[in-house]
Amino acid sequence: MKFCLLIAVAGFYVAAAVSPADNPLIITSQLVQVERLNGKLQEKIDELTVKLAENQFKEKQIQVLKYTKGLLENKCGTDGNVEASNGLTDELVNKVAQLRSIILSLKENIQLSQNTQLKLLNQLQNKCDGHTIQNSGPIIGSISNGMNDFIARSSNCLPMGQQTTIATIEIPRIGPTSVLCDGRTAGPGWLVIQRRFDGSPDFYRSWAEYRNGFGQLGGDYFIGLETLYRLTSSEPHELYIHLENFNGMKSYARYSNFQIGGEDTKYELRMLGAFSGTAGDRLSGSLYSKFSTYDQDNNQGGYYNTAVSYHGGWWYFKNMAEGCNLNGRYFNYETANIQAMSWKDNLSLKSVTMLIRPQRAMYQN
């Protein structure tokens, strides 16, 4: 369907390029083609509406499966037939995971179709500027509303593609949350969890502030440990760290399977996966470390409050000479300082951006 629409638009552009702009017959022909495209787009919207209804039905099926799973687990607890019911419970859990994966895939396909339709209509409007296209307003409005609704239901930035913008997504067990989506730094669909480039605000913060997040999406900010936990525990994520020093040199560190624990684990850095990049691996030393702040020292291997010494909040560990301090103090010049926002050798950085993206995106590109 999308291929046919692109062929039609290409033909439209060729006709416009070789014909005089003031020829009324050509203009009439172009408007007829536009009307046909509008009809096809409306048919596509109706098709997407049916798919959304199917998704909602599958979500209800998942709720039923979860309810049945709960009943089985309660039954196991009262009858003592744990081993006999384990197979059924595991089967239900796998079924729920499969259905959830199908729903996510369908939603992403719908978003791609909607993005294509919106681009086509924008191109047609620009090309036919000054001419009236019947019903084009309502069609564009319905597509835009559908995109907003879809993004609000998504739990990641994949629907935003290569756009870099603020969007509202559904954080598991938290709800609708505004986040910064980045489609330029490392490719499409990344979500910014930490960004620093001008030193405001100060990252020397309390445990509660790091848990809840702070700063502004348009400036320096930290997304919050609880939000980060909910995101990375909902499905496997990769982590991308973009670094720039005061000489303008840029480098990156990428980890294939990033996950942290909940507050009951002190937001322990549980997984990192495989490393790749040009900056060198300086985060693996923090693996299995708990997060520490000046008012909650969870660095069990240290003899002092590491967060105070390093002027930040991080997954500090005993031998920090081999680690990094990306939430340390911001200097607006290059210096070697133990408190500096640094990746290695305590050397201050000009800017840092930390991003995450669902791991499945690696196999979709």
Pairing of strands 269-271, 250-260: antiparallel
Whether residue 322 contacts residue 337, with contact meaning beta carbons closer than 8 Å, is answered with no
Does 132 score more than 50 pLDDT? no
The pLDDT of residue 35: 63
Are 238 and 360 found together in one domain? yes
Kindly state whether residues 234 and 285 are assigned to the same domain.
yes
Residue 87, pLDDT score = 54
Contact 354, 239 (CB under 8 A): yes
Per-residue pLDDT reduced to its tens digit, 238-294: 999 999 999 999 999 999 999 999 999 999 999 999 999 999 999 999 999 999 999
Residues 128 and 209 in one domain: no
**Does residue 143 contact residue 114 with C-beta atoms inside 8 Å?**
yes
Query: Across all residues in the chain, what is the average pLDDT?
Result: 78
| CATH assignment at residue 187 | 3.90.215.10
Q: Choose one of 153, 187, 209: the last residue of a domain.
A: 153
Whether residues 252 and 104 share a domain: the answer is: no
User: Average pLDDT in the 119-123 region?
Assistant: 51
Lowest mean pLDDT among 76-80, 108-112, 296-300: 76-80
Residue carrying the six token digits 């209800």: 60
pLDDT for residue 83: 47
* Whether 100 and 142 share a structural domain: yes
**Residues 244, 227: Cα–Cα separation, whole Å:** 26
- Residue where a domain stops, chosen among 100, 127, 153: 153
Q: What percent of the chain has pLDDT over 90?
A: 55
Which residue segment(s) compose the domain that 11 sits in?
2-153
Whether 175 and 129 map to the same domain: the answer is no
Q: Are 8 and 148 in a shared domain? A: yes
Q: Are residues 129 and 187 in the same domain?
A: no
- In this prediction, residue 304 carries a pLDDT of 84
Give CB contacts under 8 A, 24+ apart, made by 56-60.
Answer: 58/99, 58/102, 58/103, 59/103
Global pTM reads 0.61
Residues 48 and 91 in one domain: yes
Same domain, 10 and 135: yes
How many domains are contained in the chain? Answer: 2
CB 136 within 8 A of CB 121: yes
pLDDT at 139 over 80: no
The reported pLDDT for the residue numbered 102 is: 60
Do 130 and 13 sit in the same domain of this protein?
yes
The two tokens of residue 60 are 């209800």
Query: pLDDT digits over 148-202, tens only?
Result: 444 557 899 999 999 999 999 999 999 999 999 999 999 999 999 999 999 999 9
Confidence at 125, pLDDT banded by 50, 70, 90: very low
Of the pLDDT bands very low, low, confident and very high (cuts 50, 70, 90), residue 336 is very high
Alpha helices in the chain (DSSP H): 2-18, 24-79, 82-127, 136-153, 207-212, 225-234, 306-309, 361-364
Is the pLDDT reported for residue 10 higher than 50? no
Give the separation between CA 291 and CA 227, rounded to whole angstroms. 14
* Averaged pLDDT, 329-357: 98
pLDDT at 49 exceeding the cut of 90: no
Task: Please say which residue of 153, 173, 196 terminates a domain.
Answer: 153
**65 and 206 fall within a common domain:** no
Choose between 297 and 96: higher pLDDT. Answer: 297
